[in-house]
A and B are shown apart, each in its own frame.
Chain A
Amino acid sequence: MDIFLLADEHLGLFNYWIVIVLMMSGFYVVIAQHNLLKKVVGLNIFQVSVFLFYISMGKVDGGSAPIFKDGVEVLSNPLPHVLILTAIVVGVAATALALALVVRIKHAFGTVEEDEIQAIEHDEEDIA
């Protein structure tokens, strides 16, 4: 009985829980992974959590899609959804650029493992 109440109270916000879990795992991957590609993946997960966050925010209980139509009284807030379209575009651009950089790093260093790159960089002299 108690457990159901508890679940109901917190699961009502379940999408926010997902946001937090995704955010933290993405963040962790970015920091902990030494593989540059995996870092990009982590960054994506991190950004996606924010997309979900905005979308959840715009959802109104019982509201339908924001299209005016007879009989529809409650509408979800369309603004956050539109904002997230922009954010997704920005995110795609960042990912594309990150991947392009990873490709060129692979060409230049022969590896995409951060610790190996650091070892190579460490031995290089400072000549511009």
Chain B
Amino acid sequence: MIDVPASDPWLILLVVVPLLAAPLCVLLRGPAGAWSVATAVSWGVLGIAVKLLGDVLERGTLRYRIGGWDAPWGIEYLLDPVGAFVVVIVAAIGAVVLPYAKSSVEKEVRSDRIYLFYAMVLLCLSGLLGIAVTGDAFNLFVFLEVSSLSSYVLISLGRDRRALTAAFRYLIMGTLGATFYIIGVGLMYQMTGTLNIQDLTTIIPAVADTRTVLAALAFLTVGISLKLALFPLHLWLPNAYTFAPSAVTVFLSATATKVSAYVLLRIFFTVFGQVDLFAHFPLQPVLMAMALAAMFLASLTAIWQQNVKRMLAYSSVAQIGYTVLGISLATEAGLSGAIIHLFNHALMKGAAFMAIGAVVYATGAVTLDRLAGMGKRMPFTMAAFVVAGLGLIGMPLTAGFISKWQLITAALESGYWPLAVLILLSSLLAVIYVWRVVEAAYLRPVPANEAWAATDRVPVGMQVPMWVLAGASVYFGTDASFTLELAHTAARALMGGY
């Protein structure tokens, strides 16, 4: 553990810069100005995130005491390899989404609300980063709500009026989840007298067998599972992703659920790190059952969708299942599988949603029947979708293959060979839903009433981010040594405490 002096404020700047830039966007009002600020901030944040990751890997866990106050009175920010990895995922997606957002948002959001859009994206970014760096359980709740409230607003900005109801439903579910989380935190505080996550780690074992702590664990798990959209608590997700503006869908699908998974990891392996959680409580069978149900039922539902955005949303629910399956193994290999899947899935699903967003931008089509012939009308965009889709299936040379390889290896190592079989079977379902799009786009003729002319006139600002993510999915599928090493380090850090 390295104490970072106040003269080295990068850890706090990570959160504060986007937080302060958000009101600046509101003051600027102009869409172009707000976009420039947001994009510049997102790139700056990515720079800080990468620097911090380097620091953490080189020097070990970083600690920054806000205002110089010591824990447990003060709030401290802690950054270990897991947190740093999540921070880089969130910052990288932010930096890729904002350039993409410019054109997409101009088309999908009313122009007098665009500056609010960017303000909300920055707030959401700040909240998500805050969750990953804070070392205080209550502070985590605050950041959770900052990111959640801004994401409700972002979703409600969608053109379709159903975006409003989707946002409202998400708000109700999300607030319930967050409230469950503070109930859990309160119960733990009652038993331990601290909110600092490190203190909790050391005190919890003494009180682990009380019913209060059991109740706290239950509240925390359910609350975070709601935010994570773990089956069967995923009901808010499909509509929210379907009707949100495309850029928002990309951003949320690639970051929000990842950060929630991070919180779940934190609770299970840091807060309860000194307790043999999985031996004490029937957590493993429950998590495994939920994860498997997500992998199969959500994939099956995805197969029946006509709306490609909703199909991808259900696919997200299924992919969350993979992550949770890795967590439920509670071994180092399982955790690294879960962690690397967070990263890989962010790349693949981000690219897939960006491709559909580009199709929406150029033609307004989002259903399978209107995608007919799209492979000819928008060859580059659909090629990116295919690359992302192959990743979702888990084809070799894409990031998805690495995730699957790692998860199956972990399952076999733990002796759960039926799990290995089930993981592979569920990827076959992904073949079906991805291939429905491929067949529509490449093998069905262009409908007579669709204009050929509206082809690939997607701005470079949207093409480049899309291909950056799709390319990254291929790159990290061919040379996964770095990400795997990182995931292993993170998993080891989780298993070993801060």
A contacts, CB < 8 Å to B: 27, 30, 36, 39, 43, 46-47, 50, 53-54, 57, 79-80, 83, 86-87, 90, 93-94, 97-98, 101-102, 104-105, 108-109, 117, 121, 124, 126-128
From the candidates B141, B156, B171, B182, name the one contacting A104 in the complex (CB within 8 A).
Answer: B156
Instruction: Judge whether A105 and B165 touch: CB under 8 Å.
Output: yes
In the assembled complex, the CB of B203 is this many whole angstroms from the nearest CB of chain A, namely: 16
Task: Render B134-166 as a binary contact track against A, CB cut-off 8 A, 1 for contact.
Answer: 000010011001000100110010011110110
Is residue B360 contacting chain A, with contact meaning CB distance below 8 A?
A: yes
In the assembled complex, the CB of A104 is this many whole angstroms from the nearest CB of chain B, namely: 5
Given A50-B182, A94-B145, CB of A101 within 8 Å of CB of B171 = yes
- Count B interface residues, CB 8 Å: 37
CB closest chain-B residue, reference A39: B172
Tell me, in angstroms, the Cα distance from A104 to B163 when the chains sit together: 11
Task: Render B301-332 as a binary contact track against A, CB cut-off 8 A, 1 for contact.
Answer: 00000110110000000000000000000000
Is residue B32 contacting chain A, with contact meaning CB distance below 8 A?
A: no
Tell me, in angstroms, the Cα distance from A94 to B149 when the chains sit together: 7
Q: Is the interface of B mostly helix, strand, loop or mixed?
A: helix
Given A30-B176, A97-B153, CB of A90 within 8 Å of CB of B145 = yes
Which residues between 164 and 187 of chain B lie within 8 Å of chain A, taking CB atoms?
164-165, 167-168, 171-172, 175-176, 179, 182-183, 186
Given A105-B168, A124-B162, A127-B366, CB of A94 within 8 Å of CB of B175 = yes
From the candidates A39, A83, A93, name the one contacting B149 in the complex (CB within 8 A).
Answer: A93
Instruction: Judge whether B183 and A126 touch: CB under 8 Å.
Output: no
Tell me, in angstroms, the Cα distance from A26 to B178 when the chains sit together: 15
CB closest chain-A residue, reference B138: A83
CB closest chain-A residue, reference B175: A94
Given A80-B186, A102-B168, CB of A97 within 8 Å of CB of B152 = yes
From the candidates B149, B152, B160, B172, name the one contacting A128 in the complex (CB within 8 A).
Answer: B160
In the assembled complex, the CB of A30 is this many whole angstroms from the nearest CB of chain B, namely: 6
From the candidates A80, A87, A102, A108, name the one contacting B161 in the complex (CB within 8 A).
Answer: A108
In the assembled complex, the CB of B233 is this many whole angstroms from the nearest CB of chain A, namely: 13
In the assembled complex, the CB of A88 is this many whole angstroms from the nearest CB of chain B, namely: 12
Is residue B36 contacting chain A, with contact meaning CB distance below 8 A?
A: no
The 4 residue pairs across chains A and B that have the minimum distance between CB atoms: A128-B366, A108-B161, A126-B307, A90-B145
Instruction: Judge whether A121 and B165 touch: CB under 8 Å.
Output: yes
Instruction: Judge whether A97 and B171 touch: CB under 8 Å.
Output: yes
Q: List 5 A-B contacts (CB under 8 A).
A: A54-B182, A57-B189, A93-B149, A98-B172, A105-B164
Given A46-B176, A98-B171, A121-B165, CB of A126 within 8 Å of CB of B366 = yes
Is residue B364 contacting chain A, with contact meaning CB distance below 8 A?
A: yes
Is residue B367 contacting chain A, with contact meaning CB distance below 8 A?
A: yes
Tell me, in angstroms, the Cα distance from A36 to B168 when the chains sit together: 9
Chain B residues whose CB sits within 8 angstroms of the CB of A124 once the complex forms: 162
Is residue B190 contacting chain A, with contact meaning CB distance below 8 A?
A: yes
Tell me, in angstroms, the Cα distance from A46 to B367 when the chains sit together: 39
Max chain B CB contacts within 10 Å: which of A83, A108, A127, A128? Answer: A128
Chain A residues whose CB sits within 8 angstroms of the CB of B242 once the complex forms: 126
Chain B residues whose CB sits within 8 angstroms of the CB of A108 once the complex forms: 161, 164
Instruction: Judge whether B183 and A101 touch: CB under 8 Å.
Output: no
Given A57-B186, A94-B145, A108-B164, CB of A128 within 8 Å of CB of B309 = yes
Task: Render B6-29 as a binary contact track against A, CB cut-off 8 A, 1 for contact.
Answer: 000000000000000000000000
